[in-house]
Amino acid sequence: MILGRVIGCVWSTVKHPGLVGIRMLFVQPLTPELQPTGRRIICTDSTGAGAGELVYWVRGKEAAMPFSPAEPPTDATIVGIVDSVHLAAKPSDPAPAPPATETRRAPVRNSHAKAGREALARKPKC
């Protein structure tokens, strides 16, 4: 699924008979940060989205599935209206480091547990 913003409607008086009665909207694809990316696309609408709304849409064979059992000749369809987007901090913007404190480790019960903890200590932090 791809995020996008509805930027307009498409009116067509002559179209494939399978598209009769199906709304078509102009959608601007967006990045997860809601910045425009790529070329605008015409999507069929299965949700009743309006201009300015944040939506998610699909491409390919899945684009016809919301209209089942009919299979209109569509390549892209709006399948949801987005209420909000929550993103974690970017890896390039690390969170502030917590204050340094001494940590206590549980006593080592066997050599396998010790080897596992040592391997975890050597593993780079993401």
Of the two residues 126 and 101, the one the predictor is more confident about is 101
Please give the model's pTM, rounded to 2 decimal places. Answer: 0.67
pLDDT score recorded for residue 125: 39
pLDDT score recorded for residue 126: 34
Share of residues in the chain with pLDDT > 70 (%): 71
The burial of 45, by beta-carbon neighbours within 10 Å (0-12 exposed, 13-18 middle, 19 or more buried), is given as buried
pLDDT score recorded for residue 95: 62
Instruction: Please give the single-letter amino acid code of residue 98.
Output: P
92: pLDDT confidence band, cut at 50, 70 and 90?
low
Domains of the chain: residue spans and CATH? 2-81 (2.40.50.220)
pLDDT score recorded for residue 87: 82
- Dump the DSSP string for 28-71: EEB-TTS-B-S--EEEEESS---TT-EEEEEEGGGGGGGGTTS-
Over range 55-63, report the average pLDDT: 93
Measured CA to CA, the distance from residue 44 to residue 73 in angstroms comes to: 10
The burial of 6, by beta-carbon neighbours within 10 Å (0-12 exposed, 13-18 middle, 19 or more buried), is given as buried
Share of residues in the chain with pLDDT > 90 (%): 56
